[in-house]
Structure 1
């Protein structure tokens, strides 16, 4: 639900800009300001600020849910996939971009 201009906040601004530029160069599409409504066979369903549905076709969903450790959402996804991994703020109280990238990197190796 974070606006795109706030993506990667919490660390050094220089690093934030560099990482976002590298991701965009590799074709990553950023969509900010959306609220996840559901995940199904067609992909992830979101609502924008005007409550209009936006469907993004995908086979993997990565959630980033804020800066406080909160694993309560993990149980909701336990039956959706064979493996549900917790990364970033979901498994720590550090709440930094470094931690999110590091634990996401480890999860990527697992997948």
Structure 2
């Protein structure tokens, strides 16, 4: 009985943790629906431009945009050249005002 209760509590807490983390996201610039749509449109454009390069390393790069068109790139690239290429692509995307790179280099094992 105690094992079943402990298992149920563990599963519940595992499932609720991402919801709590999402709820804690307090981006003030995303409070207005049109701002969120604009952010999403820029993010989608950057992701599409990265995908057009057909470099598998760029698939591991995450894109986040704020209301001013500022893009933050994070994730992993195989080489510094790939990371620099991602920054260049993001800069060239319509609507992007600045790019911050938090991309880490991760060599294939």
TM-score over 0.5 (shorter chain) = no
In terms of fraction of residues, the more helix-rich structure is 2
TM-score category by the smaller chain?
Answer: under 0.3
Higher-Rg structure is: 2
In terms of fraction of residues, the more strand-rich structure is 2
Normalising to structure 2: TM-score of the pair? 0.27
Normalising to structure 1: TM-score of the pair? 0.26
